[in-house]
Structure 1
């Protein structure tokens, strides 16, 4: 009898785990386009599911985790300026007691680079956090290798 109970309990929790879904409300895409023989722009696009938002790079301390984009150093290129983003939505959020800049639907981050050779790969890491009106997911990190041809 104890074995049957144990087997049924294990079967129940295994089945329950199979139906659990990990929420992933952002789809990422990257591309690099040469703008001249010695320059290129790297584009990192986030497509955000309805009802969710991604925080800007400009969130002030005391708020949610801001988006941070880091590029690995390379002898093949240098960064030109910082990573730019479009103007975010700015809304007062009671939970943080401050105005918080964020994006809905989609956002494209851009980074210009000066090439030291014709073709290379750019390695980038994005640290980010997403929320909807009911919950925030823990901060996440995603890495990319973006070819520049």
Structure 2
């Protein structure tokens, strides 16, 4: 009986800890062919109210900037760098510097040149989010976007 109670207590504790993990950003992905040999990959971050996601252009000494990594592929090549809309730039006392970030949501775009068939663009995004009380540790999400 004691073992059963301990097992139930441990399970409840684990559930409580898991329930406290915050995920203020959700990601979605899409691709649109712009010609027979080119496409644009759209990487959208939906950001909960009160939180902000840092730009790709944050300088050293600040928060972790958003970074996209695309592994080499025989099916496509990247065209230029991942682009983003104009971010909000403000002084943050936590980092003692101006930082650039997005609130509510942002769509990043990556152009690709298609080489073969129906490629699937794969990648990883590393990012960091903060609100006015805390910053969460950097997180990494992998994605896979079919180009049709």
TM-score above 0.5, yes or no? yes
Question: Secondary structure in 2 aligned to 1:64?
Answer: coil
**Using the alignment, how far apart are the partners of 2:34 and 2:8 within structure 1?**
57
- Find the counterpart in structure 2 of residue 74 from structure 1: 73
Alignment of 1:107-126 (within 5 A): 107-126=106-125
Count of matched residue positions in the alignment of Structure 1 and Structure 2:
146
1:46-88 per-residue CA deviation (whole Å, 9 max, x = no partner) reads 0001111100000000000000001111111111110000000
Equivalent residue for 2:13, pick from 12, 16, 19? 16
Q: Which has the larger radius of gyration?
A: 1
Where does the alignment leave 5 or more consecutive residues of structure 2 unmatched?
none
**Using the alignment, how far apart are the partners of 2:113 and 2:8 within structure 1?**
57
Query: How does the TM-score come out when normalised to structure 1?
Result: 0.91
- Find the counterpart in structure 2 of residue 88 from structure 1: 87
Query: How does the TM-score come out when normalised to structure 2?
Result: 0.91
**Using the alignment, how far apart are the partners of 1:38 and 1:44 within structure 2?**
20
Q: Aligned-residue CA RMSD in angstroms?
A: 1.6
- Find the counterpart in structure 2 of residue 27 from structure 1: 26
Question: Secondary structure in 1 aligned to 2:12?
Answer: helix
